Amino acid sequence: MTFAGTGINLALGILYTWSIFKAYIKDSIETGGPGAFSWNLESLNDPYSVCCLVFAFSMILAGKCQDRFGPRFTALIGGVLVGAGFIWVSQTTSYLAWILGFGVLAGTGIGFGYSAATPAALKWFPPAKTGLIAGLVVSGFGLASVYIAPLAKYFLGLWGITGSMLFFGIAFLAVVCVLAMFLGNPPEGYVPGGLAAVAGNSNTASAAVNIPAGEMIRTGTFYKLWLIYFVGSGAGLMVIGSVAGMAKNSMGDMAFLVVALMAIGNAGGRIVAGMLSDRIGRKATLAIMLGFQALLMFAGIVIVGTSSSATLLVVLASLIGFNYGTNLSLIPSFTKDLWGLKNFGINYGIVFTAWGVGGFVMSRLSQMLYAQSGNYNYSFATAGLLLIAGVILTMTLRGKTS
């Protein structure tokens, strides 16, 4: 169950390779000619931004579907929608078609597939392993760019955008639908091994805690967690969506490597933070990671803005990816601990809207600031200040549903 969910996320994580496709589209706009893209440069991140937003909000519907019909059916819907979205955009350079195909259709599919993977695995394990299992499953999403980035670079050179998107659409349609067959919820009355042994663990919620969504959204903790997720995810997605462009000056045609190496950091952060939070607590782990991310954002002003060192850029991107990835294992673990597993699908779907809004706002803002200033300094500074606010907010979290 765990590895099937990880495999599904290894396909859906193509979202994090957007900067490779964006660089190709940007070159096409600047070169011109028959069949070239003719978008406004300020709108280059729009399909990615819309995809993040739709992905997040579709998690609410997908979570409800997962809670009611199970993970297998939900993941199947995701595979079909992602495949259809990529196949559609492979046939056109239209801005509107890319917004609808990549942004809306693929974004919804990613939401359904992603929503099915983590709950299906978590329900088979005791609370003491929540962080580890959540980290393993979502690590697939972060790790995807390790193989997709070089594949995308190769296929873009071989087939162009049309053949590349068509290949990924057909391949991921098949992969997600096949792996969906391995997902399933435990039987009624199933009790994970070791449940009794962790009754005193402060990271775990009582087995009797199963808070419905309507009650969850009336707690102050929900809004604090939502804002923290908005900041943590928005800062990371801002860099992920533009990292290939940032690397182009110092790495040239090898800029795709920084996307792949950032993905390794992204996946590693999910696993390490999950394991660490099982030991020292979610709150302490999250505060540490957000604080470190803030420092990296301010360092980005110097490294990206004034340095031409490819090594420094790779290290920066990998560490930003690592810290960003921690959010994707810590926040679902927080959600389970605070409000239980029974309604986890829809509860985390609602919390996850913060990820989408953060990605949409920050990536759109970053592209606008870059188009106006020609550098990423203002983007890094804004993200750094917001992350400091996120650390302060994290320290105010207390109680299970306060």
CA neighbor of 247 nearest in space, from 187, 307, 288: 307
Give the Cα separation of 89 and 81 in Å (integer): 13
Using 50 as the pLDDT threshold, list the residues of the chain that sit under it: 196-207, 400-402
| Tokens 């393993």 belong to residue | 136
Tokens of 141: 């999403």
Judge whether 370 lies within some domain: yes
Judge whether 332 lies within some domain: yes
Provide the pLDDT for residue 307.
Answer: 61
For residues 258 and 267, the answer to whether their CB atoms sit within 8 Å is no
Provide the pLDDT for residue 249.
Answer: 67
Provide the pLDDT for residue 257.
Answer: 79
Judge whether 200 lies within some domain: no
Three-class DSSP category at 316: helix
Provide the pLDDT for residue 196.
Answer: 45
Judge whether 192 lies within some domain: no
Judge whether 197 lies within some domain: no
CA neighbor of 46 nearest in space, from 399, 379, 332, 366: 366
Judge whether 329 lies within some domain: yes
Q: Which domain holds residue 337?
A: 2-185+205-395
pLDDT in tens, 122-150: 888 888 888 888 888 888 888 888 899 89
Judge whether 380 lies within some domain: yes
pLDDT in tens, 339-383: 988 888 889 889 999 988 998 888 888 878 888 887 888 888 989
Amino acid letter, 394: T
Half-sphere exposure of 89 (CA within 13 A, CB side): 30
Chain-centre distance for alpha carbon 153: 21
Three-class DSSP category at 364: helix
Q: How many CB atoms lie within 10 A of CB 321?
A: 27
CA neighbor of 320 nearest in space, from 394, 264, 366, 248: 264
Amino acid letter, 196: A
| Total number of domains in the chain | 1
Q: The domain that contains 61 carries what CATH number?
A: 1.20.1250.20
Helix 107-122 and helix 71-89, axial crossing angle in degrees, nearest 10: 150
Judge whether 190 lies within some domain: no
Residues 6+ apart with CB under 8 A from 398: none
